[in-house]
Amino acid sequence: MKKISLLILFATLFTTSMFARHIIGGVITYKCLGNGDYEFTMKMYRDCLCNNCAGFDTQAPISIYRCGGALPCNTLNQTSPLYQFYIGPPAISRVPNPDYPCLIPPNVCVEEGIYTWKLSDIGISLPIANESYHIVYQRCCRNETIDNLNRPDDQGATFSVEITPFAQRECNNSPEFNLFPPTIVCAGSSIDFDHSATDPDGDQIVYEFCTPLQGGGNILNGPAYNSCNGAQPDPPCPPPYNGVNFLAPYTMNQPMGGDPIITINQNTGFISGVPELQGQFVVGVCATEYRNGIPISRISRDFQFNVGNCDPTVVGSMEADEVIGLDTFLIRLCGEMETTIQNTSFQQRFIDDYRWEFDIAGNRDTFVAWSPLISFPDTGVYSGNLFLNPGEDCGDTSTVIVTVFPAVNSDFDFAYDTCVAGPVDFTNNTTSPGGPIVEWKWLFGDGEISRDKNPSHVYKIPGNLPVILEATDKNGCVGISSKVIDYFPVPDLIVISPSAADGCQPLEVFFDNLSFPIDESYDINWDFGDGGTGTDISPTYIFEDVGTFTVSVDITSPIGCETDTTFTDLINVEGSPTAAFDYNPKEVTTFNKVVDFTNLSQNAAGYTWDFNNTFRTIEPSPTFTFRDTGVHVITLIAIHQSGCRDTVSTRIDVEPKVTYFLPNAFTPNNDSNNDTYKGVGFFTGMTDFQMNIWNRWGEKIFETKDPEQGWNGLKNNTGQPAPNGVYVVTVKYVDPRGKPFELNGIATVVR
């Protein structure tokens, strides 16, 4: 293997960041310069609207393999290229989008990158051989949005050209395709594309659809990135190559479908047919050179057809009641003799000329307003046309049919009992000269509707209610009438909830008035049977006394209609106790934990005490010993003989306490009697303790942070004995609730 490097090329530029799902086509052609020298042109095409995709390879890896005949290609591998080198950067230009007469295609962006190189410039010569030379470039992957391939984002592309032994001997030049396929094809429109090629040697060219070649794989990183299965084979791998996997029903010969199906003329290279489906389709076209009837060379181009929905530049349109097909608009007038036809034609920027023509009363009248006002002499059917850019290729003509019908005369009556709530009966009186009424729509003013001809409606609310009738005749004409019903009856039946209530004194009851129709405009008077009254629609009332009570309610409408109802023995209130207690002592501490509780409840037949959920008793007045400090909740439940209960709770804080007392003197003479000076008391819960002792010269002779440790009369408990006399003592500590204390005293040493 010979590796050639151009001075301007750097193979180290190829990294996993150059993942190329942007490539949508390419082709390699060659010119024979003689003496084993060739000039190659590689044209690559990319989608420049692709998101997060790389551009063209700045330095494209190229391999040259020699195989065929006595040296089968399938015996080679990636380490067997005859030459390996890099070419670039490419000359990049934008491929112009096609200009379709009278159509606006979707926006696409395709760039062409052209790489050219001479073998002599990089020190390579290809002598005439009995095997073919294969010039190869490979890249993965194809656009994942391609519709005619199975898993397109896993399939790469191989772009190669073969220089056969015959072509070497004859110093043959490959054909070159004349045009790049259109960047966008309109669905439903004919493809008429000349895919022909020009051969410098005048050889015959035969065209056919062929299978685009795979190359590389979807390995995006790691050591295998540049392998034959990686995203960028470097060096590109030897032939033979597998074709792409078409997704059924697409095949090599039918890569796009269509009606008629997309085909290529083998003699002219002309691609024709009508694509039906929008999408992206990979197509391969091969051009084979024949000289004296013998095939001598072949080039292939792999490209992606984008089929989209193209908007027409000029389309006639208008506001109408119905549209037939694409260009006939039906307008219905009911009781009107003129109308403004709203012109909604598009694309308006392409419309240079327009006019309307109507047949009215035997005359052909012309209107030049964009949205004309047209008057009609009588009922009947009138036809006309809208002409856009008349006489031009990009124009359109629409037909409008206006039918003038007589008006629908909507009307109705109603009847109801004005004082007692009940149904309102509606009678339809609508007439239409144009034909029978086929549909009724009643809007009753309370949010309810009906489609009956003569409905009966029960209102749940009172008020000045607007009723609307929309009546439609067989022609679709609608007549609308409205009337206001002054609806203020009293309820036919007074209904309240609850239907009965039993409870303990005091008893709070919400009376939910379910009667209808009533609202705040009605006078409502409640008598709760215990002397209390109310005027709310649905009041809440508290019964303070024990007993059984009869409730009555009287309702008067704004127009003076009246009704009332009495609910006998509706409410039953049972007696209730009053829970209360006291306790002693009031200050409960670590040293005083026993508390006597005195029951002060009234009207109670039984009791339940709860001491912080740890102890319960039914004694009337218990005594309780608190084991723990902190806040305790004490609850007393007093129970009436009726079963009604009352509850009272209080919080008792059992305060943790510490004590500390200093003596005045001690006798450190080792007689085991009063030999140590230290405080006495209750130390549990004490923190941050510190005791210091000074002599009369201000020298600290003892300190400790342990309240259990005392001074033995020696300096720092280990030095020389302190002489008899008086010593100053200071003590600091913090009690369990965080309160700081300071004590000062004297320690008299007596030996």
316-362: pLDDT as tens digits: 999 999 999 889 999 999 999 999 999 999 989 999 999 999 999 88
Going by the DSSP 8-state scheme, the letter that residue 96 receives in this structure is P
Same domain flag for 76 and 147:
yes
Q: Which helix (H) or strand (E) holds 166?
A: helix 165-169
pLDDT of residue 312: 86
Asked if 259 and 287 count as a contact pair (C-beta separation under 8 A), the reply is: no
Nearest-angstrom CA–CA distance, 402 and 321 = 10
pLDDT of residue 404: 97
Asked if 665 and 634 count as a contact pair (C-beta separation under 8 A), the reply is: no
DSSP of 662-723, one letter per residue?
--SEE--SSSSSS--B--BS--TT-EEEEEEEE-TTS-EEEEES-TT--B-SBGGGTSSBPP
Asked if 511 and 541 count as a contact pair (C-beta separation under 8 A), the reply is: yes
Confidence bin at 219 (pLDDT 50/70/90): confident
Share above pLDDT 90 across residues of the chain, in percent, rounded to a whole number = 85
User: What is the average pLDDT across 162-187?
Assistant: 94
Dig out the tokens for 405 from the structure. 């019908």
User: What is the average pLDDT across 190-204?
Assistant: 94
Q: Out of 41-55, 108-122, 489-503, 736-750, pick the least confident.
A: 41-55
Confidence bin at 218 (pLDDT 50/70/90): confident
Nearest-angstrom CA–CA distance, 453 and 472 = 11
Q: Which helix (H) or strand (E) holds 168?
A: helix 165-169
Per-residue pLDDT tens digits for 527-569: 999 999 999 999 999 999 999 999 999 999 999 999 999 999 9
pLDDT at residue 140 is higher than 90: no
Asked if 444 and 465 count as a contact pair (C-beta separation under 8 A), the reply is: yes
pLDDT at residue 18 is higher than 90: no
15 inside domain: no
| Backbone φ, ψ for residue 94 (5° rounding) | -85, 130
Confidence bin at 52 (pLDDT 50/70/90): low
Same domain flag for 332 and 445:
no
Flag whether the pTM goes above 0.85.
Answer: no
Same domain flag for 303 and 243:
yes
User: What b/e sequence results for 284-299 when a residue is b if at least 16 CB atoms lie within 10 Å of its CB, and e otherwise?
Assistant: bbbbbbebeeeebbbb
Confidence bin at 4 (pLDDT 50/70/90): very low
CA neighbours within 13 Å on the CB side: how many for 18? 21
> How far is residue 154 from each of residues 14, 245, 246, 599, 749, measured CA to CA in Å?
20, 10, 13, 87, 99
pLDDT at residue 294 is higher than 50: yes
Same domain flag for 39 and 166:
yes
Same domain flag for 670 and 694:
yes
pLDDT of residue 222: 85
Nearest-angstrom CA–CA distance, 102 and 488 = 67
Same domain flag for 290 and 147:
yes
User: What is the average pLDDT across 165-169?
Assistant: 96
6 inside domain: no
pLDDT of residue 119: 97
- CATH number of the domain within which 390 lies: 2.60.40.10
User: What is the average pLDDT across 596-616?
Assistant: 95
pLDDT at residue 97 is higher than 80: yes
1 inside domain: no
Dig out the tokens for 663 from the structure. 């003596």
Report CA dihedral (229, 231, 235, 236) to the nearest 10 degrees: 70
pLDDT at residue 702 is higher than 90: yes
543 inside domain: yes
Nearest-angstrom CA–CA distance, 248 and 327 = 37
pLDDT at residue 5 is higher than 50: no
- By CB atoms closer than 10 A (0-12, 13-18, 19+), residue 39 is middle
Confidence bin at 250 (pLDDT 50/70/90): very high
pLDDT at residue 20 is higher than 50: no
18 inside domain: no
pLDDT of residue 8: 27
User: What is the average pLDDT across 240-255?
Assistant: 95
Angle in degrees, CA 639, 640, 643, rounded to 5: 80
Residue 381: domain span:
313-405
660 inside domain: no
User: What b/e sequence results for 604-642 when a residue is b if at least 16 CB atoms lie within 10 Å of its CB, and e otherwise?
Assistant: beebebbbbeeeeeeeeebebebeebeebebbbbbbbeb
Same domain flag for 56 and 148:
yes
DSSP of 392-450, one letter per residue?
SSS-EEEEEEEEEEPPPB--EEEE--SSB--PEEEEE--B-TTS-EEEEEEE-SSS-EE
Single out the residue of 646, 622, 652 nearest to residue 634, CA to CA: 652
657 conformational bin, left if phi > 0, alpha if psi -120 to 50, beta if neither: beta
Q: What is the mean pLDDT of the chain?
A: 92
Nearest-angstrom CA–CA distance, 537 and 53 = 71
Per-residue pLDDT tens digits for 445-503: 999 999 999 999 999 999 999 999 999 999 999 999 999 999 999 999 999 999 999 99
Domain end call among 279, 308, 337: 308
pLDDT of residue 154: 83
pLDDT of residue 135: 98
- CATH number of the domain within which 676 lies: 2.60.40
- Pick the more confident residue, 24 or 76: 76
Same domain flag for 638 and 739:
no
554 inside domain: yes
pLDDT at residue 314 is higher than 60: yes
Confidence bin at 152 (pLDDT 50/70/90): confident
Domain end call among 289, 308, 327: 308
Domain end call among 655, 681, 701: 655
Same domain flag for 147 and 232:
yes
User: What is the average pLDDT across 88-98?
Assistant: 93
pLDDT of residue 47: 86
Domains of the chain: total: 6
pLDDT at residue 7 is higher than 50: no
pLDDT of residue 81: 96
Same domain flag for 358 and 272:
no
Confidence bin at 21 (pLDDT 50/70/90): low
Same domain flag for 45 and 161:
yes
pLDDT of residue 118: 97
Same domain flag for 357 and 296:
no
4 inside domain: no
